[in-house]
């Protein structure tokens, strides 16, 4: 039995794109559990990210999944992605908005109520908070507690994405706090993706 009727997963790309990735992505997105796919490739050139992004865009469109580009509003615009995700050290949201206009802009707010309030004030379309667990995908500098989810839901109506070490063993507990989306990367890509996605049903 499915935990949630809606597509509650915000899927983040693996750090490396292997030959098998595109076939795996087709199967994972066909699960009807994914709302967003974030292209997050730190070790690739701009040209490589553009080529990969164009391929992923076609697959996302096929399954009606929104494509979000990490860090780079210009690339998001160039490949006609649905939006961009910005960290606190990336381009500010005002500048990004001039590039992306009405497209989606998400903001990382860590575990800070101050950053959450600022992101909402600046017109973010969603906010990401966490990490809630240790993660192999990226270094964890901020730890958030589940109570923050409840606080955010009372403070604003914009969607809340929770991040950090979420996997098939801990995701159900987080869903009890009613976040809008769970960001998952290693929980799928560090395993056999076709098998791993079934663990979230």
Longest dimension (CA), the chain: 44
Q: DSSP 3-state assignment of 162?
A: strand
Q: Cα(200)–Cα(104) distance, rounded to whole angstroms?
A: 26
Sign of CA dihedral 132, 25, 172, 66: positive
If you average pLDDT over residues 147-157, what whole number do you get?
95
Domain spans, the chain: 9-200
Q: Is 70 within 8 Å of 93 (Cβ atoms)?
A: no
Q: Is the pLDDT of residue 47 over 90?
A: yes
Quote the mean pLDDT of the chain. Answer: 94
Single pTM value for the model: 0.94
Determine contact, residues 200/1, Cβ cutoff 8 Å: no
> Are the C-beta atoms of residues 111 and 148 closer than 8 Å to each other?
yes
Which fold is adopted by the domain 9-200?
Answer: TIM Barrel (3.20.20)
Q: What is the pLDDT of residues 82-111, one digit of tens each?
A: 999 999 999 999 999 999 999 999 999 999
CA distance 36 to 33: 10
The 3-state DSSP class for residue 40 equals coil
- At 171 the three-state DSSP class reads helix
- pLDDT confidence of 198, banded at 50, 70, 90? very high
Measured at the CA of 82, the angle between CA 77 and CA 88, to 5 degrees, comes to 75
């Amino acid at each position: 039995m499915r935990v949630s009727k809606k597509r509650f997963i915000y899927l983040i790309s693996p750090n490396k794109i292997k030959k098998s990735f595109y076939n795996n992505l087709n199967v994972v997105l066909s699960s009807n559990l994914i709302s967003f796919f974030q292209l997050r490739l730190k070790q690739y050139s701009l040209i490589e990210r553009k080529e990969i992004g164009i391929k992923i865009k076609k697959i996302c469109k096929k399954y009606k999944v929104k494509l979000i580009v990490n860090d780079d509003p210009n690339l998001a615009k160039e490949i006609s992605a649905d939006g961009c995700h910005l960290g606190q050290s990336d381009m500010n949201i005002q500048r990004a908005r001039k590039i992306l206009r009405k497209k989606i802009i998400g903001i990382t707010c860590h575990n800070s109520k101050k950053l959450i309030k600022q992101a909402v004030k600046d017109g973010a379309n969603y906010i990401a908070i966490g990490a809630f667990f240790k993660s192999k995908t990226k270094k964890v500098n901020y730890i958030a507690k589940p109570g923050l989810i409840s606080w955010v839901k009372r403070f604003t109506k914009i969607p809340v994405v929770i991040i950090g070490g979420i996997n098939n063993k801990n995701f159900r507990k987080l869903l009890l706090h009613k976040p809008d989306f769970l960001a998952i990367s290693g929980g799928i890509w560090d395993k056999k993706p076709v098998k791993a996605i079934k663990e979230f049903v």
